[in-house]
Amino acid sequence: MNQNLNRRELIVGSAALTLAAAVPAAAQPKEAKIENPLVLQRADPQILRHGGWFYFTGSVPEYDRIVLRRAKTIAGLKDAPETVLWQRPASGKLAGYIWAPEIHHFDGAWHVYFAAGDGDDKFHIRTYVLQGKGANPLTADWSLLGQFETPWDTFTLDSTIFEHKGVRYICWAQKEPGIETNSNLYLAPLKTPTTLAAPPARLTVPTLDWEVQGYKVAEGPALLARNGKLFLTYSASATDARYCMGLLTADADANIMDPKSWTKSPVPVFATSEANQVFGPGHNSFVVDEKGRDLLVYHGRDYREIKGNPLFDPNRHARVQPVQYRKDGTPDFGVPVANGVVR
């Protein structure tokens, strides 16, 4: 009986293999290719990998809501349905511009850090935190925890969260009283999602020529920890074709709350590519894709000339490309790749 059953299984299995071999190669399922732009009209993009999913969020051109989509692959994010997690109120606090959300999962809950203006002053930008309870952030119960508290009640945006040596840190951009810039970068350990555990360290102030084109800006920080180093990217200058990425580097064993531990690259590490027709690349994040590659996630436009204020040009598209590494272990971001399949 068992011998006959095994024989039948063998025959059926062999037939299935023969049938599969007979199917033309074109009919076999193909691996989805990542194509740029990945998501149209989504600036300040972030991709988070968590629990077998890739989550994508970014600024929408209307600056009025926080959106999220997810997929099992990076390529799948292109056509994944999008959910509105939070919509700004019609008036009052948080009724102004909604910028640059980032989603993180810690302490058993989801957290979205975002910048918001007020109804009577849309540029009264401060950072706020949403908290979501539930395994799936698309269906979680979201509530506003409150404003992220810093030493100064000033223009504050672009918060990112990371853990280093068992400590949870927040890095953000802010205008500090007494410093004539639009924003500098700050770092501090977190006590709660909205409060600091220690006074912040000012990591960098925009002073170099490529950091002060149009505006004196250091914003959009993102951390890449590799090869015994911490690489902190940020974006500089106005949000047109002059927008570009800078880099701060520290040893992983250094006291990262000491600004002297960080070295600034003297030139941009990622900038407009006329040849590839990608303009103003920046406000990036990092994610490890399903192949184990480090991906740079950023936005850029397909054209240089903009009519009016570049903040209100809707076509900053989310893009991705692999990060390369030099022999000394430092990242080489290269140039923004042209539209099409990402190799």
Residue type for position 47 = I
> Does the residue 16 lie in any domain?
no
pLDDT tens by residue, 235-290: 999 999 999 999 999 999 999 999 999 999 999 999 999 999 999 999 999 999 99
Confidence of residue 343 (pLDDT cuts 50, 70, 90): confident
- 193 in Cβ contact with 147 (< 8 Å): no
The CATH number of residue 38's host domain is 2.115.10.20
Residue 89: give the domain boundaries: 33-341
Confidence of residue 30 (pLDDT cuts 50, 70, 90): low
> Does the residue 57 lie in any domain?
yes
As a whole number of angstroms, the distance between CA 179 and CA 91 comes to 31
pLDDT of the residue at 32: 86
> Does the residue 28 lie in any domain?
no
Whether the per-residue pLDDT at 11 is higher than 50: the answer is no
Write down the catalytic residue from 102, 158, 219, 313.
Answer: 219
Among 208, 196, 216, 226, which Cα is nearest to 296's? 226
Confidence of residue 31 (pLDDT cuts 50, 70, 90): confident
pLDDT of the residue at 139: 98
Average pLDDT, the chain: 93
Write down the catalytic residue from 44, 158, 289, 313.
Answer: 44
Whether the per-residue pLDDT at 23 is higher than 60: the answer is no
> Does the residue 9 lie in any domain?
no
As a whole number of angstroms, the distance between CA 119 and CA 90 comes to 8
Please say if 219 is a catalytic residue: yes
pLDDT tens by residue, 284-318: 999 999 999 999 999 999 999 999 999 999 999 99
pLDDT of the residue at 29: 53
Domain count, the chain: 1
Whether the per-residue pLDDT at 1 is higher than 70: the answer is no
Sheet strands (E) in 5-134: 35-36, 43-50, 53-59, 65-71, 83-87, 98-106, 109-118, 121-133
Whether the per-residue pLDDT at 12 is higher than 80: the answer is no
Mean pLDDT within 176-197: 98
As a whole number of angstroms, the distance between CA 286 and CA 292 comes to 12
Whether the per-residue pLDDT at 9 is higher than 60: the answer is no
Whether the per-residue pLDDT at 62 is higher than 80: the answer is yes
